[in-house]
């Protein structure tokens, strides 16, 4: 689980893990794909289907990022 925060101390409050926190997010709108990287260099890629449900999920995720993640931590491709 990733905590969306550049402050590692917030991670411990949510997951009990003060060692791992969100480092950066890359968003590829054309592919409906998000790559999330943590401070240890591990990454996870999430892709949404090209369907109505996929649009809803992808849009909801981007709105969530926009509310909670500092702009400088997100790169739109």
Digit-coded pLDDT (tens) for 10-62: 544 544 566 778 889 999 999 999 999 988 888 899 999 999 999 999 999 99
* pLDDT score at 17: 62
Q: What are phi and psi of 51, to 5 degrees?
A: -145, 175
Inter-residue contact 39 to 17 (CB < 8 Å): no
Instruction: Give how far the C-alpha of residue 52 lies from the chain's centroid of Cα atoms, to the nearest Å.
Output: 21
* pLDDT score at 19: 74
> Which residues face 76 on adjacent strands?
27
Euclidean distance between CA atoms 74 and 33, whole angstroms: 13
Query: Looking at residues 50-75, what average pLDDT do you find?
Result: 92
């Amino acid at each position: 689980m990733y905590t969306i925060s550049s402050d590692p101390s917030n991670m411990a409050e949510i997951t009990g893990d003060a060692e791992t926190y969100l480092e950066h997010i890359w968003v590829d709108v054309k592919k409906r794909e998000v790559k999330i990287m943590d401070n240890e260099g591990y990454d996870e890629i999430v892709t949404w289907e090209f369907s109505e449900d996929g649009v809803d999920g992808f849009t909801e995720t981007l709105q969530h990022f926009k509310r909670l993640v500092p702009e400088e931590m997100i790169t739109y491709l």
